[in-house]
Amino acid sequence: MNVNDEYTVRIEKLSNLGAGIARVDNQVIFVENVCPEDEVKVKITKLNKNFANAKVIEILTPSQYRIKPFCPMQNVCGSCQIQFIDYNYQLELKKQIVEDAMKNIGNLTTKVNDPIASPETKSYRHKIQYPVSQTKVSERILAGYYKPKTHEIVNIKYCPIQPKICDDIVEFIRDMAPKLNISGYNEKLHKGDLRHIVIRYSSFNKKCLVTLVVNSTKAIEKYQKLAHLIFEGFVDITGVCLNFNKQKTNVILGAETVCICGDDYIEEKILDKYFKIGADTFFQVNPKSAENIFEYVKKEISKYNNPTVLDAYAGIAAFGIVISDVCKNVVSVEENKNSIKKAYEALEINNVKNVELHAKDTTKYLQSIKKKFDITILDPPRKGCTKESLDETLKHTKEKIIYVSCNPATLARDLKYLSENGCTVESIQPFDMFCHTYHIENVATIRV
C-alpha cells in the first residue's frame, strides 16, 4: 500500500472520532465523511505504522442510513460531522463508540444502555462561539465555524442547530463592525480587533447574552459603541459584555470580562431550579438534553435515604442544587471563582440551604478534609480525572460514584482505574447532547 493508491472499500463502523473504518488486507483505513455500509472508492492520503488515512473519491453504493443533510453548509462546516446519517442510526453508532471504548480502553464488560435521544435535534445548541476574521481585499467580516482540521472560517449566515436569533445577531455584528472601524482578527499576525463572538441563549425565557472577545486590554470607545448598538438592536438580548484576550492562544476567552450594558448573565431553568449563566460560566450547550441527565442523576441519588453528597468539578453547582431536595447536605467544589459566584446567586434564588460551596481544586479540597460522603458526583472536563483525584474520591466516598463524562475514551480509562481499585461499574447510560456529531455524553454509576 502506498500514498495515492486507490481502493474500493466497505465502511464497517465509525471510530471514536467519527471517521469511518475500512480494511484492505487487514490494514485499517480511516475515511472521513462516510457512513457504515457505504461502499466507496478511496485514495490513500497518509500511511502510518498501524493504519492509513484516505479520502473519498466516489460513493459507489450509499448506505441505507445516508440521508440528505438539512443544512446546506454541512459538507464544508466542521460543526455537524455526521448530519448526513439518519438520526436514530446516529444513536446506534454512538452506542457502539461507547461500547468500543469500554472494551478496548477500559477492559470492561459492563452493558451500555441505549442512548437517550436529545429532545430537540435542531436549534438545540444554546452556546455559540464563532471565531472572527476578515477578507484581505474587500475587508468583509467573516464569522462562523472552522472547516474541518483547519483554521479557515466558514462564513455562516444560517445555522439550523442553533436558535435563529443567533444568526441575526452575528449578521448585525458583521454589518456594524466595519462601520465602527472594528476589524476582524488575523490569527497568524495576531492583529485585528474582534476575535470571537460568543452567545448564550436561554431555553427558559428565550433571551441572549452576547460577549465580544477583543484583541485588547481595555474597553475602548468603538467596542463600547458596538456593544450598545447590539443591545439596542435586539429586545431579547439581556446584556452585552466585552472579554479581553491579547494572548497568542487558541483559548477563546481571556481572564477579564466586563459588562457594557444590561446584565452579565442569562437565566436558565433545570427541572425546578433556576440558574444565572455568565459569559465564562460552564453550562451544557443543550439544556433540554442536560435536563434529562440531571433527572437521571437525581433519580439515582434518591434511591438513598437522605445521603451526603460531594459535587466535584461543580461549575455553578447545578448538580448540587438540583439534587439538594433529596439529600441531607451537598458539598460543591469548583476552582473557577466566577462560577462559584454564580452558584451563590443560584442558592439564594432557589432558597437552598443545604449546599456548601468551596472555590478550590477538587483534589486539593479532598486532601484537606477527613470527611466521607455517601455519594460523589464527578463531572470533570473532557480530559477526565487525574489518578490523584480518583484516589482521593475513593478515600472519601462510602457508597457510590456517579461519573458524568463528555468523552468516552477518558471515561473508559478512569473506569478501568476505579475497577482495578476495587470498584464495580454498575451501569453506563449515554445521552445525546451533541446531535449530528460523534460526541456523546455518558453517566456511569460505580459502586465503591
Average pLDDT over residues 16-30: 92
CA dist 252 and 388 (Å) reads 28
Provide the whole-model pTM: 0.92
Domain holding 155, by residue range, is 127-269
Which residue stretches of 163-238 are H helix?
164-179, 221-233
Sign of CA dihedral 128, 129, 130, 132: positive
CATH code of residue 388: 3.40.50.150
CB 357 within 8 A of CB 332: yes
- CA nearest neighbour of 388 among 396, 441, 370, 400: 396
Provide the percentage of residues in the chain whose pLDDT is more than 70.
100
In angstroms, the Cα distances linking 169 to 164, 185, 212, 415 are: 9, 18, 12, 42
Q: How many domains, in total, are found in the chain?
A: 3
Average pLDDT over residues 265-292: 92
CB 54 within 8 A of CB 30: yes
Per-residue pLDDT, 356:
97
Helix axis angle, 221-233 to 164-179, nearest 10°: 140
pLDDT tens by residue, 390-424: 999 999 999 999 999 999 999 999 999 999 999 99
**Which residues make Cβ contacts (< 8 Å) with residue 363, sequence separation at least 6?**
386, 388, 389, 392
CA dist 20 and 15 (Å) reads 6
Task: Note whether residue 113 is domain-resident.
Answer: yes
| Dihedral pair phi/psi, residue 319, rounded to 5° | -60, -45
Task: Note whether residue 75 is domain-resident.
Answer: no
CB 108 within 8 A of CB 101: no
CA dist 38 and 190 (Å) reads 43
**Which residues make Cβ contacts (< 8 Å) with residue 350, sequence separation at least 6?**
273, 274, 321
In sequence order, the β-bridge partners of residue 273 are 270
Average pLDDT over residues 421-438: 97
Q: Give the 3-state secondary structure of residue 126.
A: coil
358 and 241 assigned to the same domain: no
Q: In what side-by-side order are the strands of the sheet with 329-333?
A: 355-358, 329-333, 308-312, 373-378, 397-405, 441-447, 424-431
109 and 135 assigned to the same domain: no
Where residue 149 falls among pLDDT bands split at 50, 70, 90? confident
221 and 341 assigned to the same domain: no
User: Residue 74, CB half-sphere, CA atoms under 13 Å: how many?
Assistant: 18
Per-residue pLDDT, 75:
86
Which residue stretches of 380-436 are H helix?
387-395, 408-420
263 and 299 assigned to the same domain: no
Catalytic residues: 406
102 and 24 assigned to the same domain: no
| The three grid cell numbers given for residue 343, joined into one nine-digit string | 452558584
259 and 188 assigned to the same domain: yes
Per-residue pLDDT, 338:
85
Task: Note whether residue 276 is domain-resident.
Answer: no
Q: Where are the beta strands (DSSP E) in 337-395?
A: 355-358, 373-378
Where residue 279 falls among pLDDT bands split at 50, 70, 90? confident
Per-residue pLDDT, 86:
97
Per-residue pLDDT, 415:
98
DSSP H/E element including 318: helix 318-323
Task: Note whether residue 350 is domain-resident.
Answer: yes
| The three grid cell numbers given for residue 363, joined into one nine-digit string | 483534589
109 and 133 assigned to the same domain: no
pLDDT at 148 over 90: no
Where residue 292 falls among pLDDT bands split at 50, 70, 90? very high
| The three grid cell numbers given for residue 130, joined into one nine-digit string | 464563532
302 and 232 assigned to the same domain: no
305 and 343 assigned to the same domain: yes
pLDDT at 282 over 90: no
Using alpha carbons only, how large is the chain's radius of gyration in Å? 23
Task: Note whether residue 85 is domain-resident.
Answer: no
| The three grid cell numbers given for residue 227, joined into one nine-digit string | 456593544
pLDDT at 280 over 90: no
Task: Note whether residue 86 is domain-resident.
Answer: no
Average pLDDT over residues 109-115: 96
Average pLDDT over residues 65-94: 94
Task: Note whether residue 81 is domain-resident.
Answer: no
Task: Note whether residue 80 is domain-resident.
Answer: no
- With left for phi above 0 and alpha for psi between -120 and 50, is residue 165 left, alpha or beta? alpha
| The three grid cell numbers given for residue 22, joined into one nine-digit string | 475500512
pLDDT tens by residue, 325-383: 999 999 999 998 888 999 999 999 999 999 999 999 999 999 999 999 999 999 999 99
pLDDT tens by residue, 304-313: 999 999 999 9
| The three grid cell numbers given for residue 443, joined into one nine-digit string | 453517566
138 and 114 assigned to the same domain: no
98 and 7 assigned to the same domain: no
Per-residue pLDDT, 139:
87
| Dihedral pair phi/psi, residue 312, rounded to 5° | -95, 150
Instruction: Look over the chain and give the mean of its residue pLDDT values, rounded to a whole number.
Output: 95
Where residue 118 falls among pLDDT bands split at 50, 70, 90? very high
CATH code of residue 42: 2.40.50.140
CA dist 295 and 7 (Å) reads 48
**How long, in residues, is the chain?**
448
| The three grid cell numbers given for residue 129, joined into one nine-digit string | 462561539
175 and 38 assigned to the same domain: no
Per-residue pLDDT, 38:
96
Per-residue pLDDT, 78:
78
What residue type is assigned to position 199 of the chain?
A: I
Provide the percentage of residues in the chain whose pLDDT is more than 90.
91
